[in-house]
Amino acid sequence: MTNSPEETTVLSLLIPSYGYRDGLRLALEPILFLDESLKHLVEVIVGDDSDTPLLSADEVRSYRRYVHRFVYLHNRPSLGAVHNWNHLLLLAKGRYSWLCHHDEHLLNVQSSLPLLLHELQAGKGDIYILPLFKAWRHGRYWLLQRHTPCPILVLWILRYPSLFIRVNPVGPPSAVIHRSALSCLYDQSLKWLVDVEFYRRLLIHNSKNVVTLPSLFGIVSDQSYGETITESLRPALAQTKAHELSRILPDRPMHFRLLTTVCAGFVRVFLHVSTLIQFSIVRR
């Protein structure tokens, strides 16, 4: 008896998109290089909040040749960023879920996804952290700066929720793949700390089952694209962050909060310095 596609699907690649066609195509590009023997392991679900569809019917049919399940949803009315994320997570049928934003994609387009599928098939972790590289595009060249610190430092920071929420060494949701059975959704009442608060809940019972992956599995975050959630929040960032911190962190004595804030400041400076000189140039 053969297993159904839902039982054999290892990875649900979930792509929320809005108005960035080039970014969506880059996020989808790795599935074009999947070997025939791996296609059944992947499903792709795109949740498009754009005013007009980013993919035509012909393009959707074309992508369906590369994975066993390709779903394109043009949300009408648009759901909004975090609601769109949660909607995609609820639709996922794979053993692992990967929410990959439309301005982020795998650095090694041709080789990383097959290797990632083999890693997930082994199932050693509940949560996988992919290294993130900030990228600036100049024609066919990308200038990359590593954002994620060394794995030992990432795992150390993850042990301290109050520090982790203030520093976030992981980055955006695209850098995290988690076991779908953990049944965790994003808090739609949050804006700036919506990702780290989600990570915190994932880690509460799974902090010992975190796997940090090497640079081969790196994620590129396109800094040339300006219409991001971060940019939309920047005018009131300090107030938003302070309000959300007071909501999601437990009430602690003043001296504890002061000590954590100072420690977070030192760690943040160290992270910036340690990654500041890690630049490279790649051609796409």
Q: Among 50-64, 95-109, 154-168, 229-243, where is mean pLDDT lowest?
A: 229-243
* Rounded Cα gap, residues 258 and 85, in angstroms: 34
Dihedral, 15, 19, 25, 27 alpha carbons, nearest 10: -30
Compute the distance between CA of residue 48 and CA of residue 176 in angstroms, rounded to an integer: 21
Contact 87, 47 (CB under 8 A): yes
221-262 pLDDT, tens per residue? 998 776 666 655 666 667 888 888 888 876 665 555 677 777
The kind and range of the H/E element at 119 are helix 112-122
Please determine, for residue 7, whether its predicted confidence score (pLDDT) is greater than 70.
no
Q: ω into residue 77 within 30 of 0, thus cis? A: yes
Which is higher by pLDDT, 127 or 7? Answer: 127
Task: Output the DSSP codes for 25-50.
Answer: HHHHGGGGG--GGGGGGEEEEEEE-S
Q: What does residue 132 show for φ and ψ, rounded to 5 degrees? A: -105, 140
Tokens representing 101 are 């934003």
Joined tokens for residue 165: 């929420």
**DSSP helix/strand/coil, 94:** coil
8 Å CB contact between 202 and 195: no
Mean pLDDT, to the nearest integer, of 153-166? 85
CA distance linking residue 14 with residue 71, whole number of Å:
10
Quick one: pLDDT at residue 210? 93
At residue 1, the pLDDT reads 41
**251 class by beta-carbon count within 10 Å (0-12 exposed, 13-18 middle, 19+ buried):** exposed
Give me the percent of the chain exceeding a pLDDT of 70. Answer: 89
**3 state SS of 70:** strand
Stated length of the chain: 284
Closest CA to 41 of 69, 83, 78, 2: 69
The token duo for 176 is 């995290």
How far apart, in whole angstroms, are the C-alpha atoms of residue 257 and residue 40? Answer: 49
Of residues 42 and 248, more confidence is placed in: 42
- Region 72-92: mean pLDDT is 97
Q: How large is the greatest C-alpha to C-alpha distance in the chain, in angstroms?
A: 62
In this prediction the pTM is 0.89
Domains of the chain, residue spans: 5-283
Residue 100: the pLDDT is: 97
Pick the CATH number of 5-283 from 3.40.640.10, 3.10.450.350, 3.40.50.11540, 3.90.550.10: 3.90.550.10
* Residue 30 pLDDT greater than 90, yes or no: yes
- pLDDT tier at 106, thresholds 50, 70, 90: very high
Amino acid at position 263, single letter:
C
